[in-house]
Structure 1
Amino acid sequence: MHAKTTTSARPNPLLKASTLPFHAPPFDKIKTGDYKPAIEAGMKQQLAEIKVIADQKAAPTFANTIEAMEKSGALLTRASKIFFALTGSNTNDTFQKIEAEESPKLAAHNDAIFMNPKLYARVKTLYDKRASSGLDAESQYLIERYYKFFVRAGAQLNDADQKTLRALNQEESSLTTKFREHVLADTAAAAIVVDTKEELAGLPDSDIAAAADAAKGKKLTG
């Protein structure tokens, strides 16, 4: 599966697992325009995977429900973790725009999974029978965790309350993103410019080097 990003012939490197050691992201190949289509493709893919799990006729088991959910969303997890790691450490206006667009969609995506009544019913069946299931302690604990995730996410609410919660979750996601943007902007605006290294006496060399790099990024040299 290939997504078209900056050019019609170029495949999106985020759509496949990295072959680098420890699956490190191939940043030399990833372009800024790759993140949004990869995240959206990941949401679409995971919802399709969840639908298969929720709609299956087979009785719920740990393997066909809990393990299957654990394995779902590989693309979304990969793309979103890389993206949000960057927005939290090395963001820019383009990243912030993508985050503002995708965060409410990700909140809605999460709600679509944890408010899925068929999926919740399967998890609850396993939860109710966990003590007599013969599963090991770790597996029973994972069932309990998933059950709590669903309950806390609103799986037991009626349709009207779920609709309200979905709207609140999307609003919270948008406001959280805006808050982070304001904090970053204020932090950048509050930077102190010094003219000599002596004014930084007492700071570790690593901090001074990092500050110098940040200054160069703002075209401040000295």
Structure 2
Amino acid sequence: MIQPSAYPIATQGHAEPIAVIGAGCRLPGGVDSTDALWRLLVDGRETVGVVPPDRWPADAVAGAGPKVAEGMRWGCFLERGIGEFDPVAFGVSVAEAAWMAPEHRLLLEVAQEACEHSGIPLEALRGSRTGVYTAMYGVDYALRGLRPPDALNNYWSMVGVHGTAAGRVAFLLDLRGACDGAGHRVFLRPRRRTRGMPESAGR
């Protein structure tokens, strides 16, 4: 979250202060808060481990050759399963949630936690000109669309569209500012902020 400023809108070339006042995260090593992230760094714990059996079986990549197979035995993974997402709590139907990309699920959870972490009541944000800017990578979950056509449904067309992620957060929290799912534009937010939009922003 970026702190709504009490200062007048700055003119072009005069950047006004921007403060990060809330944060949330989901990271390997069981990290689900900024406090947990700090403990991970202080302890110097390793987060690389063997691929969990529910991700992909080792014998499925054995045919790719020993070097590739060995490399695909290791990685950094979230400990929570994507099935633990509570769609009803975030205004998502059970049918849609089955096709909803994990990144979108995590974003909804973390966005709400970041607001709570900031100390700003969610009701105070509803209807405000608060912008939502997201950056994502990879469309692995959308590859489920390679299934036979009779296994597809209306939700698949949106499963890997990163641009809709920002809209999900805005809809959940009733935010009326700009939404942007283009990752490279996240870095331009401070400049655009000085030009009068939005009042606050989450990313």
The structure, 1 or 2, with the larger RCO (C-alpha pairs under 8 Å, 6+ apart) is: 2
Structure number with bigger Rg: 1
Larger strand proportion, structure 1 or 2?
Answer: 2
Considering fraction of residues, name the structure with more helix.
Answer: 1
